[in-house]
Amino acid sequence: MSTVPATQRMVEVSGAEALWLLEGSSLGQLVYMQRDLTVIRPARHVWEYGLLVVRTPAPVAAVPVTATYHAEEIRAVPGTGWTVTVAGPAEVITNLDEAAHYRRTLSGWTHGPHDTLLRLHPKTVTGFRLVRTEA
């Protein structure tokens, strides 16, 4: 007797659950447009006081007024996981004390002119869970 493999589908989650999933992770990607091209940069993040603080290797001049941040955790073997996308206005953190705090808190990839700290104010939050359904 053979078993029918489980199918997978994406189920949309509420904004509160999506933020809860995002809060439990620390790795994602900052997505923005630069010279009519989509740029994806790896990033670390922390959710604090209703804002998403992101550390990414992107030049300050390239940081858009509105940014999109994407994080996911997909487990290939059991076929489960989640994906969350947050979009909203972004601002570069310029306060030296605050920047020093987040540089200690969030590990980065580069140090120098392309090591940028952003504060993203979420306007839209979209989240999905990958679930297994029996056929």
In a domain, 2, yes or no: no
Nearest to 30 by CA among 70, 74, 88, 2: 70
Q: How many domains does the chain have?
A: 1
- Classified as helix, coil or strand, 50 is coil
Residue range of the domain that includes 92: 7-133
Measured at the CA of 111, the angle between CA 106 and CA 112, to 5 degrees, comes to 130
Q: Can you give the pLDDT at residue 85? A: 94
Asked if pLDDT for residue 79 goes beyond 80, the answer is: no
Does some domain include residue 33? Answer: yes
Residue 37's CATH number: 2.30.110.10
pLDDT recorded at residue 125: 93
Residue 106, in any domain of the structure: yes
Question: Residues 132, 5: contact at Cβ < 8 Å?
Answer: no
Helices then strands (H, E): number in the chain? Answer: 2, 8
Say what the pLDDT of residue 54 is: 92
Using the predicted structure, report yes or no on whether residue 64 has a pLDDT greater than 90. Answer: no
**Integer Cα distance of 109 and 86 in angstroms:** 22
Question: Which pLDDT tens digit goes with each residue over 1-19?
Answer: 555 556 778 889 888 899 8
Q: How far is CA 113 from the centre of its chain?
A: 22
Find the radius of gyration of the CA atoms of the chain: 17
Per-residue model confidence (pLDDT) at position 53: 93
Average pLDDT over residues 12-33: 88
Residue 121 is predicted with a pLDDT of 93
